């Protein structure tokens, strides 16, 4: 069920209405949200909801058992059960075929031909997101930072809560579990902010991301040799803005949907293309993933407390894992390795310079840093978007060919691309001003704005369905 579909709008209306109708009945309200979330997930594949429910049961039991004992051996055993189940299912569905193929290719180079067992199953939508969410809860209980969920229904509602279920943000237990136990307030301001986020997210997705995808990006990646070098570069700019508007647009709708029920989900983006370094980019892009890996991988490895070499390794490994989190292919292996290498080089030269921050840099140097970081991200995303290494090589070769015509980039593409950069780089205070003006409107005028927005979205909507990019992860 796509956020930018009429089906979702109707589903959300039913969910919000039923939620507030049961506001005085805590257990029934949770049960209603749980069942609606199950229904939401089952639209993609009704059988895979059983996989998510197995995570709910196993990890709820693991948390309760860990919290109930001081015996370190038992606590580690239950943590091991959770890790084995979650990482095992993620590995089987997402990485089994890739690693088997890589092993077979390696043995083939040694002259050993071995059979390649192939697991012919669909990747459960959102598996990377909900796996990390549930693991964070178990690990936090093991670390004695937060108590476990109060009931199986409580934990099941948290993990399956439909706004964030399939493409984030990755919501940790301590942020949402307490909210689910309280009766949230319903204020006009919160409703207005929720509607504003939904409008903003749908606009990003339909008017910008889908338009750029259908009218430039997909065409170039399908046949890069038909485009000049300059057109390829413009298409890469287009993909850079497409993926931002697609993913941040999903987050906006998710946060807005939750806000209509009085719940707050974390932000996932902070104008990432204004970053002055690779490190700053990953603090601004997919914030809930990078902070998850920081807290559960980088810090446990020692962070920056060890030797410089160990610190560089910890940084590189964390970024490498971010790469392969996105997918099981050599493209993502190289993508993660590149970003890890960029992070290591940045830290090395930054530390060598003896500086502690760049807040006092002159404006021209800040602009150069932003442009350099931005173009590193743009070029590395060739690997992210191309279906194979061969396709990535073809795009790169065409980019370096040195042809300069822009005849195949229409004026509408230029307008949408310019608008996307304008939205991204607009100062936060401007966005907040528009939001506050919308929130302050009387209800009838809000209705007019919603009707006009719906008309624009219907007019601009692509004739072909364009799924959210991060559904594949």
What's the alpha-carbon Rg for the chain, to the nearest Å? Answer: 23
120 and 30 in a single domain? The answer is: yes
Contact (CB, 8 A) for 167 and 247: yes
Task: Summarize pLDDT for 222-254 with one digit per residue, the tens.
Answer: 999 999 999 999 999 999 999 999 999 999 999
Regions in the chain scoring below 70 on pLDDT: 354-359, 462-463
In 10 A of CB 132, how many CB atoms?
21
179 and 200 in a single domain? The answer is: no
394 and 430 in a single domain? The answer is: yes
217 and 174 in a single domain? The answer is: no
Whether 323 is covered by a domain: the verdict is no
Provide the annotated active-site residues. 326
Last residue of a domain, one of 143, 165, 183: 183
Q: Which range marks the domain in which residue 213 is found?
A: 189-276+358-460
232 and 140 in a single domain? The answer is: no
- With a threshold of 0.85, does the pTM exceed it? yes
Whether 287 is covered by a domain: the verdict is no
Whether 223 is covered by a domain: the verdict is yes
Residue-level pLDDT at 355: 66
88 and 198 in a single domain? The answer is: no
Last residue of a domain, one of 127, 150, 183: 183
Best CA proximity match to 335, nearest among 158, 473, 199, 441: 473
Domain count, the chain: 2
Residue-level pLDDT at 89: 94
DSSP string, 291-338: HHHIIIIITTTTTTSS-HHHHHHHHHHHHHHHHHHS-SSHHHHHHHHH
Whether 472 is covered by a domain: the verdict is no
Whether 216 is covered by a domain: the verdict is yes
44 and 149 in a single domain? The answer is: yes
233 and 153 in a single domain? The answer is: no
Whether 391 is covered by a domain: the verdict is yes
193 and 150 in a single domain? The answer is: no
158 and 218 in a single domain? The answer is: no
State the alpha helices, DSSP H only, in 68-126.
72-90, 96-109
127 and 169 in a single domain? The answer is: yes
244 and 178 in a single domain? The answer is: no
């Amino acid at each position: 069920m796509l956020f930018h579909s009429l089906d979702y709008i109707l589903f959300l209306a039913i969910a919000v209405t039923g939620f507030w109708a049961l506001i005085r009945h805590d257990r029934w309200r949770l049960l209603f949200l749980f069942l609606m979330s199950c229904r939401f997930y089952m639209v993609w594949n009704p059988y895979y909801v059983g996989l998510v429910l197995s995570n709910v049961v196993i990890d709820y039991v693991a948390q309760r058992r860990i919290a109930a004992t001081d015996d370190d051996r038992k606590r580690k055993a239950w943590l091991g059960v959770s890790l084995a189940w979650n990482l095992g299912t993620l590995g089987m569905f997402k990485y089994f075929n890739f690693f088997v193929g890589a092993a077979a290719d390696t043995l083939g180079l040694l002259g050993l031909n071995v059979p390649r067992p192939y697991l012919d199953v669909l990747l459960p939508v959102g598996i990377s997101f909900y796996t990390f969410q549930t693991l964070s809860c178990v690990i936090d209980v093991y670390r004695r930072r937060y108590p476990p969920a109060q009931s199986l229904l409580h934990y099941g509602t948290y993990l399956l809560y439909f706004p964030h279920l399939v493409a984030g943000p990755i919501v940790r237990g301590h942020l949402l579990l307490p909210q689910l136990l309280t009766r949230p307030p319903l204020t006009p301001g919160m409703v207005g902010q929720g509607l504003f986020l939904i409008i903003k997210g749908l606009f990003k997705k339909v008017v910008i991301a889908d338009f750029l995808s259908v009218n430039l990006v997909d065409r170039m990646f399908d046949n890069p040799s038909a485009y000049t070098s300059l057109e390829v570069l413009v298409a890469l700019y287009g993909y850079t803005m497409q993926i931002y508007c697609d993913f941040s647009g999903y987050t906006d709708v998710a946060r807005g949907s939750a806000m209509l029920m009085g719940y707050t989900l974390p932000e996932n983006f902070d104008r990432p293309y204004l970053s002055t370094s690779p490190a700053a980019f990953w603090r601004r892009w997919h914030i809930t993933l990078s902070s998850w890996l920081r807290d559960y991988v980088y810090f446990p490895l020692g962070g920056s407390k060890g030797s410089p070499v160990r610190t560089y390794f910890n940084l590189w490994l964390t970024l490498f894992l971010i790469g392969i989190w996105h997918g099981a292919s050599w493209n993502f292996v190289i993508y993660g390795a590149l970003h890890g290498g960029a992070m290591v080089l940045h830290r090395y030269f930054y530390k060598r310079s003896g500086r502690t921050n760049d807040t006092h840099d002159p404006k021209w140097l800040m602009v150069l840093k932003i442009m350099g970081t931005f173009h590193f991200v743009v070029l590395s995303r060739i690997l992210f978007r191309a279906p194979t290494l061969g396709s990535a090589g073809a795009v790169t070769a065409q980019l370096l060919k040195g042809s300069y015509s822009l005849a195949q980039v229409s004026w509408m593409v230029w307008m949408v691309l310019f608008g996307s950069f304008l939205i991204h780089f607009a100062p936060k205070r401007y966005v907040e001003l528009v939001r506050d003006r919308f929130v302050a409107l009387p209800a009838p005028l809000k209705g007019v704005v919603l009707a006009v927005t719906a008309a624009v979205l219907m007019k601009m909507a692509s004739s072909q369905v364009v799924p959210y990019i991060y559904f594949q992860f």
